[in-house]
A and B are shown apart, each in its own frame.
Chain A
Amino acid sequence: MSRVEGYGRVDRGRTVTVTVDGTAYTGHPGDTLASVLLAHDARPLDTSIKYGRPRGIGAAWVEDPTGLVQIEEPFPEPMVLASTVEITDGLVARGVDGQGRLSQVADVARYDHRHVHCDVLVVGAGPAGLTAARRAAREGLDVVLVDDRPEPGGTLTGTETIDGRPSREFVADVVAELAALPTVTHLQRTTAFGHHDDGLVLALERRTRGASRQRVHRIRAARVVIAAGAIERPIVFEDDDRPGVMLAASARDFLHRHGVLAGREVVVCTSDDAAYAAAVDLLDAAAAVRVLDARSRVPEVWARRCAERGIEVSAGTQVRGTRGDDRVTAALVGEERHEVPCDLLLVSGGWNPTVHLFTHVGGRLTWDPALGAFRPGTPLPGVEVVGAADGVFDLAGCLRQAGGPDAPHADEEPGEPTMVLWRTAGDPARQFVDLQRDATVADIARAVGAGMRSVEHVKRYTTIGTAHDQGKTSGIVASGITAELLGRPIEDLGTTTFRPPYTPVAFAALAGRARGDLYDPVRTTPIHDRHVAAGAEFEDVGQWKRARHYPRVGEDMTAAVLRECAAVRTSVGVMDGSTLGKIDVRGPDAAVLLDRLYTNVMSSLKVGRVRYGVMCGNDGMVLDDGTVLRLADDRFLVTTTTGNAAAVLDRMEEWLQTEWPDLRVRLTSVTEQLAIVAVAGPRSRDVVGAVFADVDVTNEAFGFMSWQDTALDGVPVRLARISFSGELAFEVSVGSWYAAAVWDRLLEAGRPYGITPYGTETMHVLRAEKGYPIIGQDTDGTVTPHDLGLGWAVSRKKPDFLGKRSFARPQNQDPRRKQLVSLLPVDAATKLPEGSQIVDLAEDGRLPAPPVPMLGHVTSSYHSAALARPFALALVKGGRERIGEVVGVPVAGELVAAQIGDTVLVDPEGARRDG
C-alpha cells in the first residue's frame, strides 16, 4: 500500500471496490482507477501495440499516453484512460493492448444536449480561471465556468498561499461566491472539447446525477476566456517508456488529490523549476528523492529547500536511460550511465500551454524561447487566454493577469529559466516519443531521411500524435526533435494542427437524444392508423411513412401488388395520397407567377378546372410535376411530388422574392392541412356517388380534370376528377382531422365492389402502365419534358417561362437524346432490374467485349397484372425512333432481349378515363 496518511482529498471513511484484470482493489470516493492501481502497486496495465513492451500509468490526467483500459462494467467502453476514470462500486476494467471492444448491446444510458448562452465562458477552474470567472461575475455578467476535472482548483495542491491563506481555502471561497450568484453556472467534470466560430464552445459533461449519463453543452459566449492550463513536457531518453516513468507534476497530483505515493525511491530528472515542487512534496510524504537537473544553475530557492530536507541535487546532469523488467528499477545517469536505483522516475522538460481551444478557431502560435514553448500569438477577437495557457507559469503571474485591479495575491518565486531539452544522448531506436504508438526518435529520423520536412508529414509518416491522446505530450517533442534533425529552428517548423475534439467524445454523446425514433422526424398521414390496422407494409419517402402495399396472409409484395392492380383496373381501389405537396397560391398575380414557373399556360385555366403542369429549371431540365387546381381568379392549389414539396415551395418563394417582388402573390404550404384520398377504378363513380349523394358524378356533370366542392356531414370536401392510373378516378380532399372518417366512409361504400386499399408500389405500376413518369425515378436532372414525351405540356405561345430559352439550344433538338420508352422483355418473363444498362443486341446474343456503348438504362420495372407480363420504362438514346427494335439488357451475366415500345401500354386510346 502506498497511501500516505494526511494527504489527499479522497473520502477515506468510505470504501469502493473495483476489479482490474481480474483482481479486486479497494479505493475511496475521489480515487481514479489510476490512483487505485498505484496505491496497490499493481502490475503494468498493458503491453504496447508494436513491440509488446509493458505500459503503466504515465500521468495523472488526459495527457497520459499510456494507461488505457477497457471498461467492462457497468457498460462496455473502449480505450479510456485509467487516470480519468472515477471509481464506483462494481466497476470492472482491464488493460487494453491497442484495441478496445465496443458494446454488442444497445447503450441504455441517456445522453442529451443543452444550449447555453452567456456573456463570458471561462474554460478551466484553476487559479487563473477561478479568478477570471470571479472578476466577470462581479461585473454582473452572465458567466459559465467549466472545468474538466472532478473538483475545481486546477494544479493548486494546497501547499500554496493566496491572499495569505492556504490555496484550497481560496478555491473554496471563490466557488462559494460564484455559487451564490444566479448569473453564474459552474460545471465540473465538463470538458470544453471544441471551440468554433463566433464563440461557440462544445463541452461534454460527465454527469454523476440526473437522467442522462453525459451531456453536451452547446455554449455560445460573447467572450471566451481560455484558462486551460498547461501540460508538462517529457524528456526523451532510452527506455523512457518503462512503467514507473511519470511526469513530475502527476506524481504530485496523485499525492495531493488521492494521498497516493507513486514510488518510494524517486529520481527526478528535470530541466525546469516546477519539478522541484514534486521532489520536495514526495520527500515530505516519506519518499527517498534525488534530483538531476540538466541545467548548470540550480534555482536558489529550491536548492535551499532541497538542502533543508537532505535531497541530493546534481546540476548539469541528465538521465540517459532506465533499467528494469516490468517496471523501472534504476535510472542510468550521466555519460557514464551510472545506475541509480529507483522505483519512480519523474520527468519534467518544462510546460506546454494548453492552446488547443485557441488554435481550434484559427489562433496562431508563437515560439517563446524564454519558455521553450509555443504560446498563443496574435489575439483573436472575443477570445482571451490567461494563466498557464498563455505561458504564464507562475502562480503570482496567473492571478495578476486574470484578476485585474483586485487580483488575488501570491508571492513571487524567483527561479531559473527552463532549458529546452527534447532528448538526451542515446540509442534513437529505444527513445520513445509516442508511447501509445510505439514511435521512437529513430522513426522520426527515418521520416526526415525519407524527405519529410513538415511536422504534419512527419506525424503521418511516424503516426506520432495520432493516438487517443492526440500527442498531448509527444507532439511538441516530436516537433523539437524533427527540428534538431533538420538543423532548423523549431519556430520555423511549428506544431501539428490541433483539431477538435480535445479529448475523445463518444458518438452517443454527440447524438444525444437524436437516436432511434428521435433520429429523424417521422411524418405520418392522418390515415396512418388505418393502414397499420390493415397490415400495410410501409416505405420511407423522405420523412414520410407511406403504405407500400397491403399484403394478405401468404402474399409477398409481388402477389399483393398484382392483386391491388387488378382491383383498380377491374373494380375500385383507394389510396392515401395525403403526402403530396400542396401549396396554396393566392393573390391578384397568382396566374402570372404560375405562367412563369410552369412550362404550360396556367392563366387560361378556368375556375373549377384542373391542369397537369411541369416545372423546369433554367437549364430546361424537369424539376417537378403535379396538378394545378384553379380555386378562384386569384387563387390556385398546386400539388407537387411528395419528395419535392419543400424544394418546390422554396423555389417559388425564391423567384417571387428575388426576381419578381412586384408580383402580388402569397404562398402557403397546406400539405399537412389537406388529406387526399384517391378513389380509382371503373366502380369509383359508384363509390364516390354513394358517399357524396348530393354531387352529380356523371361524366357530363363532372368532367375529367375538373373539381367540385361539397360537404359530408357539414365538413367541407373537395372532389376532383384526376387520374394517375388511367382509370376513371376521383381525388377526395378534406381537412386532415376528418381524413380517417372519410377513408372509412369510402371503404364502407365500396364494400359491394370489393374496394381494395392500394399502396405506392401499386400506384407506381398503374402509372407506369400508362407511361406517366415519376420525377426523380424516371428522370435524373438531365431530362427535358420533350424527352419524357411531355412536349404537349410545353407552351409555344408564352413569350417566356423558366427553362424556355434552353429548349431552343440545338442540343435539345438532338434526336439522339435519351427518351422515355417502354421495354418489353421478349421472353415475357424476366423483370429487368431497375438501373440496368441497355446495349445493342449482338447477333450471337452475347455481351460483346468492352467497351460496350451504352444506349440508356431501365428507370422503372414491374410485373403487370393488366399485361400479364413484366414490363419496364427506360431512357434510351433516340428511343422513340427505335420503337419496335429489340435491344439487350445484361441481367446476371446474360443478355436479355427486350423490345422498345411506346410508353403507354394499357388503354392507349384513353377509353377508360371517363368510365
Chain B
Amino acid sequence: MQLIACPWCGPREELEFSYGGQAHVAYPSDPAALTDEQWARFVFFRDNPKGPFAERWAHSAGCRRWFTAVRDTRTHRFLSVGPLAASGSGATS
C-alpha cells in the first residue's frame, strides 16, 4: 500500500484516494461546435504513456479535495503533487 502525499493532508495511504484519470483535459468551451469525432475524443480518449503522467487524484476519504499529481506509470512512484490549476482541470464523466 503506497503512501500518497496529499497537498493538504500530507502522506496518507493509497486506500484513502480515488483516481481521476489524465489531468488537464479541459471540458470544451463550446461542445456544440465540435464534430462528433472531436467530442468522442474528449469523452473517451486519454493518453497512456509509459513514464511520467499528469493525473488527477481525489483524497476521497480525507479532505475530499482534488489535486494533480505526476506519477511514473512504470514504477507507480509519485514524482510530484500539487493543487489543481485554476480551472479546466478536467472532469471525467
- B34–A653 contact, CB under 8 A? no
CB neighbours (8 Å) of B36 from chain A are: 808-810
Q: How far is the CB of A665 from the nearest CB of chain B, in Å?
A: 14
- B86–A659 contact, CB under 8 A? no
- Name the interface residues of B6-40: CB closer than 8 Å to any CB of A: 11, 14, 18, 20, 26-27, 30-32, 34, 36, 39
Q: Which of A220, A619, A653, A808 contacts B93 (CB 8 A)?
A: A619
CB neighbours (8 Å) of A196 from chain B are: 1
Q: In whole angstroms, what is the CA distance A654 to B32 when docked?
A: 23
CB neighbours (8 Å) of B39 from chain A are: 805-806, 809
| Closest chain B residue to A811, Cβ basis | B36
CB neighbours (8 Å) of A198 from chain B are: 1-3, 11
Partner-A contacts on B (CB < 8 A): 1-3, 11, 14, 18, 20, 26-27, 30-32, 34, 36, 39, 42-44, 56, 58, 60, 64-66, 76, 84, 86-93
Interface flags, A654-667, vs B, CB<8A=1, else 0: 11011111100000
Return 11 A-B CB contacts under 8 Å, by A number.
Answer: A197-B76, A618-B93, A623-B93, A654-B91, A655-B91, A657-B65, A659-B87, A659-B90, A799-B32, A804-B32, A809-B39
- B89–A659 contact, CB under 8 A? yes
Q: A197-B3, A804-B31 known; A658 and B91 CB under 8 Å?
A: yes
Residue A284 lies at the interface, judged by CB distance under 8 Å to chain B: no
Q: Which of A654, A660, A800 contacts B58 (CB 8 A)?
A: A654
Q: In whole angstroms, what is the CA distance A655 to B89 when docked?
A: 9
Q: In whole angstroms, what is the CA distance A220 to B1 when docked?
A: 10
CB neighbours (8 Å) of B11 from chain A are: 198
Q: In whole angstroms, what is the CA distance A88 to B30 when docked?
A: 76
Q: A650-B60, A651-B93, A654-B20 known; A659 and B2 CB under 8 Å?
A: no
Q: Which of A661, A799, A805 contacts B86 (CB 8 A)?
A: A661
Q: How far is the CB of A226 from the nearest CB of chain B, in Å?
A: 19
CB neighbours (8 Å) of A660 from chain B are: 87
Q: How far is the CB of B92 from the nearest CB of chain A, in Å?
A: 7
Q: In whole angstroms, what is the CA distance A658 to B84 when docked?
A: 7
| Closest chain A residue to B76, Cβ basis | A197
Q: Which of A654, A661, A662 has the most CB of B within 10 A?
A: A654
Q: A651-B93, A654-B20 known; A662 and B2 CB under 8 Å?
A: no
CB neighbours (8 Å) of B60 from chain A are: 650
CB neighbours (8 Å) of B31 from chain A are: 800, 804-805
Residue A341 lies at the interface, judged by CB distance under 8 Å to chain B: no
Q: A197-B3, A805-B32, A806-B39 known; A661 and B84 CB under 8 Å?
A: yes
Partner-B contacts on A (CB < 8 A): 196-198, 200, 220, 617-619, 623, 650-651, 653-655, 657-662, 799-800, 804-806, 808-810
| Closest chain A residue to B90, Cβ basis | A658
- A657–B66 contact, CB under 8 A? yes
CB neighbours (8 Å) of B58 from chain A are: 650, 653-654
CB neighbours (8 Å) of A654 from chain B are: 20, 58, 66, 91-92
Q: How far is the CB of B48 from the nearest CB of chain A, in Å?
A: 19
Q: In whole angstroms, what is the CA distance A619 to B36 when docked?
A: 12
| Closest chain B residue to A115, Cβ basis | B13
CB neighbours (8 Å) of A657 from chain B are: 65-66, 84
Q: How far is the CB of A285 from the nearest CB of chain B, in Å?
A: 48
CB neighbours (8 Å) of A197 from chain B are: 1-3, 14, 76
Instruction: Supply 6 further A-B pairs (C-beta < 8 A) apart from A654-B92, A805-B39.
Output: A618-B42, A619-B93, A653-B64, A799-B32, A806-B43, A809-B36
Q: Which of A617, A653, A658 contacts B56 (CB 8 A)?
A: A658
- A659–B27 contact, CB under 8 A? yes
CB neighbours (8 Å) of A805 from chain B are: 31-32, 34, 39
| Closest chain A residue to B43, Cβ basis | A618
Q: In whole angstroms, what is the CA distance A90 to B90 when docked?
A: 65
Q: Which of A220, A619, A657 has the most CB of B within 10 A?
A: A657
Q: In whole angstroms, what is the CA distance A718 to B87 when docked?
A: 37
Q: How far is the CB of A651 from the nearest CB of chain B, in Å?
A: 7
| Closest chain B residue to A667, Cβ basis | B64
Q: How far is the CB of B63 from the nearest CB of chain A, in Å?
A: 11
Q: In whole angstroms, what is the CA distance A253 to B86 when docked?
A: 66
Q: How far is the CB of B87 from the nearest CB of chain A, in Å?
A: 5
Q: How far is the CB of A386 from the nearest CB of chain B, in Å?
A: 24
CB neighbours (8 Å) of B2 from chain A are: 197-198
| Closest chain A residue to B44, Cβ basis | A619
| Closest chain B residue to A362, Cβ basis | B75
| Closest chain B residue to A617, Cβ basis | B93
Q: How far is the CB of A891 from the nearest CB of chain B, in Å?
A: 37
Q: Which of A198, A220, A619, A810 has the most CB of B within 10 A?
A: A198
Q: How far is the CB of B72 from the nearest CB of chain A, in Å?
A: 13
| Closest chain A residue to B30, Cβ basis | A800
Q: Which of B1, B76, B91 contacts A659 (CB 8 A)?
A: B91
CB neighbours (8 Å) of A618 from chain B are: 42-43, 93
Q: In whole angstroms, what is the CA distance A661 to B86 when docked?
A: 7
User: What are the 5 closest A-B residue pairs judged by CB atoms, nearest first?
Assistant: A805-B31, A658-B89, A197-B2, A617-B93, A198-B3
- A619–B43 contact, CB under 8 A? yes
CB neighbours (8 Å) of B42 from chain A are: 618
| Closest chain A residue to B27, Cβ basis | A659
- B43–A658 contact, CB under 8 A? no
